[in-house]
Amino acid sequence: MSTATHQAPIQVSPDPSVTPVPFSRLLRVELRKLVDTRAGFWLLTAIGLITVAVIVVFLFVADPDQLTFVNFVGATATPQSILLPVLGILAVTAEWSQRTGLVTFTLEPSRIRIAVAKLVAVTLVGLLAVVVALGVAALSNLAGMAFMDGAGSWNVGAANVRDFFAVQLIGIVQGFAFGMLLMNTAAAIVLYYVIPIAWTVLFSMVGSLESAAPWLDVNTAMAPAFEQQTFQGGDWAHLAVSGTIWVLLPLALGLLRLLHREVKSA
């Protein structure tokens, strides 16, 4: 006869001498990743060069009465709104396309902390880019008054600046969300730029959907910030609904995929 032995499950307690990686260090690492890679460095360089080129062209092409601070802000917003979301995409997809995910998630096993650090990093870069754009617009307005006899109006309210920040940050967070959802640089970039075109074609072909466009398309919802120079009344409701569909939902699904995807070294 044999006697069965039962062993109580072993309770493993965390080692109190091991401290987690400080979030500030994770944030510094993610910020450095945005500029240390060739793709990130040249993307930021391209944003700067294209912004300067657009400003120079606008200075020489626009009529003197159009050379105002708000118009220069709009000129700087165009290249940023197109290219900054790509930086958000690269912040996530680089972990998989460059095979660095194994190192990243070994040094910091908490994928949620990594995702939050990446999101905060791209948001800070986006905020810095907007601040730089406002500075460039101010200098350009002064140059327009000095050399092109420009109107030089500074008639910009706090709401205009707020909406400028909001539009740029929504774009970069949306790019980040698409990158985390697809985890492939090419697919995320293509989808990010193709969806607005597809929606525009659909709404133009089906007239009955025109009234629904601001609710279903985040780019249409953000249009008043460029056309009216600020959001008004129901524009915020449009932005909230379309932003939930195209920013928050992909962000949540992308985080879910990030938490469950297997990390491979090759």
Answer whether residue 223 is part of any domain.
Answer: yes
Instruction: Please give the model's pTM, rounded to 2 decimal places.
Output: 0.86
Range of the domain at 254: 23-258
Q: Are 218 and 245 in contact (CB under 8 A)?
A: yes
Instruction: Please say whether the beta carbons of 212 and 206 come within 8 A.
Output: no
Summarize the confidence of residues 132-138 as an average pLDDT: 92
20 closest CA partner among 112, 91, 96 = 112
In a domain, 4, yes or no: no
* pLDDT for res 254: 95
In this structure, is residue 9 part of a structural domain?
Answer: no
Cα 77 to Cα 66: distance, rounded to the nearest angstrom: 16
Share of the chain above pLDDT 90, in %: 46
- In the chain, the number of structural domains is 1
Could you tell me if residue 12 is inside a domain? no
Let me know if residue 128 belongs to a domain: yes
Closest CA to 175 of 162, 190, 192, 161: 192
Select from 55, 46, 132 the least CA-distant residue to 90. 46
Task: Kindly state whether residue 178 falls inside one of the protein's structural domains.
Answer: yes
Q: What pLDDT, in 10s, does the model give residues 182-208?
A: 999 999 999 999 988 888 788 878 877
Q: Could you tell me what percent of the chain has a pLDDT over 70?
A: 91
End-to-end CA distance of the chain: 52
Both tokens of residue 163? 């909406």
Give per-residue pLDDT as tens, 137-181. Answer: 999 999 999 988 888 889 888 888 888 899 999 999 999 999 999
pLDDT for residue 2: 52
Answer whether residue 78 is part of any domain: yes
Q: pLDDT, tens digit, for every residue of 31-82?
A: 998 888 888 889 989 998 999 999 999 999 999 999 999 899 888 888 888 9
Contact in structure between 69 and 138 (CB atoms under 8 Å): yes
Note whether residue 48 is domain-resident. Answer: yes
Query: What b/e readout covers 27-61, taking b as 16+ CB neighbours within 10 angstroms?
Result: bebbbebbeebebbeebbeebbebbeebbeebbee
And the tokens for 8? 């109580």
Does the pLDDT value for residue 99 go beyond 80? no
